[in-house]
């Protein structure tokens, strides 16, 4: 189980981005982390996977524990070895390498089980199997996203963190990505699903958190959040007054004011 408790993250020693964030990912579950641009979702992923350093970021408060062990500030490969893999935003594959070679790079922490994991991963992604010798840069956007996920699975993670896997994909491919995540979870891997596509994420999540300016503003069961009027209004753009709301908090505040006025 992953537990993030009251975490603060500061970039360049001055920019406070996470402001007391607390979320949990229990074993075997899919947990959605939602929020608009700049809410701090990617920063949360970096804090867990040890990638803050590269971005001049630091955890200045709080704790991150994985199966009871403090992992805040551990180095990225130790975290992968410990069972957490991440697919970064923007399908970071090696464009000039083949599909197989890309998968090989994902196995660096687990060479002894490379061929076993390769077979398992290819079963999940038959399309990649067909293209195993193709240069990855020539794959379609959807296939590249699948490859990025497949590569992370080569480390046989207990927890997979996906940062906006549906970004820029056509609706049909978003469905494929969603089904893939469900399949991965059914095989026993927990998933922290970072998304702006709230409907997709909540449709498969056991639990969801909505974050804004570095902290959680609402959380609950996936299905409950999906049915919540405020969530629908903000994330599906169904504003009752037809106007744009800048933040989720503002939607809630506006509705409260409306109730007072009537």
Q: Judged by CB, which is closer to ligand ATP: 46, or 131?
A: 46
Residue 123 DSSP class: H
Task: Count how many Cα atoms sit within 13 Å of the Cα of residue 88 in the half-sphere of its side chain.
Answer: 11
Query: Minimum distance from CB of 96 to ligand ATP (Å)?
Result: 26
Q: Judged by CB, which is closer to ligand ATP: 36, or 203?
A: 36
Query: Minimum distance from CB of 213 to ligand ATP (Å)?
Result: 9
Query: Minimum distance from CB of 208 to ligand ATP (Å)?
Result: 15
Query: Minimum distance from CB of 196 to ligand ATP (Å)?
Result: 6
Q: Judged by CB, which is closer to ligand ATP: 35, or 83?
A: 35
Neighbours of 133 (CB within 10 A): 9
Region of 83 please: left (phi>0), alpha (psi -120 to 50) or beta: left
- Which residues make up the interface to ligand ATP (CB under 6 A)? 11-12, 15, 17, 35, 37-43, 55-57
Query: Minimum distance from CB of 17 to ligand ATP (Å)?
Result: 4
Q: Judged by CB, which is closer to ligand ATP: 12, or 262?
A: 12
Query: Minimum distance from CB of 41 to ligand ATP (Å)?
Result: 4
Task: Show the DSSP H helices in the chain as ranges.
Answer: 41-49, 76-81, 99-105, 114-124, 126-130, 141-153, 171-186, 198-204, 222-227, 229-235, 248-261
Q: Judged by CB, which is closer to ligand ATP: 17, or 191?
A: 17
Q: Judged by CB, which is closer to ligand ATP: 52, or 181?
A: 52
β-pairing, 215-221 vs 207-212, is antiparallel
Residue in 143, 227, 158 with CA at minimum distance from that of residue 192: 158
Q: Quick one: 155 exposed, middle or buried, by C-beta within 10 A (0-12, 13-18, 19+)?
A: buried
Separation between Cα atoms, residue 109 and residue 88, nearest integer Å: 18
Q: Judged by CB, which is closer to ligand ATP: 107, or 231?
A: 231
Task: Count how many Cα atoms sit within 13 Å of the Cα of residue 56 in the half-sphere of its side chain.
Answer: 6
Residue in 93, 81, 14 with CA at minimum distance from that of residue 50: 81
Query: Minimum distance from CB of 22 to ligand ATP (Å)?
Result: 16
């Amino acid at each position: 189980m992953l537990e993030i408790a009251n975490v603060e993250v500061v970039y360049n020693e001055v920019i406070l981005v996470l402001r007391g964030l607390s979320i949990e990912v229990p074993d075997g579950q899919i947990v959605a982390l939602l929020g608009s641009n700049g809410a701090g979702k990617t920063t949360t992923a970096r804090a867990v996977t040890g990638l803050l350093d590269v971005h001049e970021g630091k955890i200045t408060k709080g704790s991150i524990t994985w199966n009871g062990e403090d992992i805040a500030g551990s180095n990225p490969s130790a975290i992968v070895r410990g069972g957490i893999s991440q697919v970064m935003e923007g399908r970071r594959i090696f464009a000039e390498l083949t599909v197989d070679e890309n998968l090989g790079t994902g196995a660096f922490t687990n060479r002894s089980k490379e061929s076993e994991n390769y077979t398992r991963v290819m079963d999940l992604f038959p399309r990649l199997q067909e293209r195993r010798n193709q240069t990855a840069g020539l794959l379609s956007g959807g296939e590249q996203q699948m490859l990025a996920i497949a590569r992370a699975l080569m480390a046989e993670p207990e927890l997979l963190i996906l940062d906006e896997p549906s970004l820029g994909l056509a609706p049909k491919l978003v469905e494929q990505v969603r089904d893939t995540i469900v399949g991965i979870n059914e095989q026993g891997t927990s998933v922290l699903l970072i998304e702006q596509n709230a409907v997709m994420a909540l449709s498969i999540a056991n639990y969801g958190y909505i974050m804004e300016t570095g902290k959680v503003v609402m959380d609950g069961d996936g299905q409950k959040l999906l049915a919540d009027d405020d969530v629908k209004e903000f994330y599906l753009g169904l504003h009752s007054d037809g106007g744009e709301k800048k933040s989720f908090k503002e939607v809630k505040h506006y509705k409260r004011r409306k109730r007072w006025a009537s």
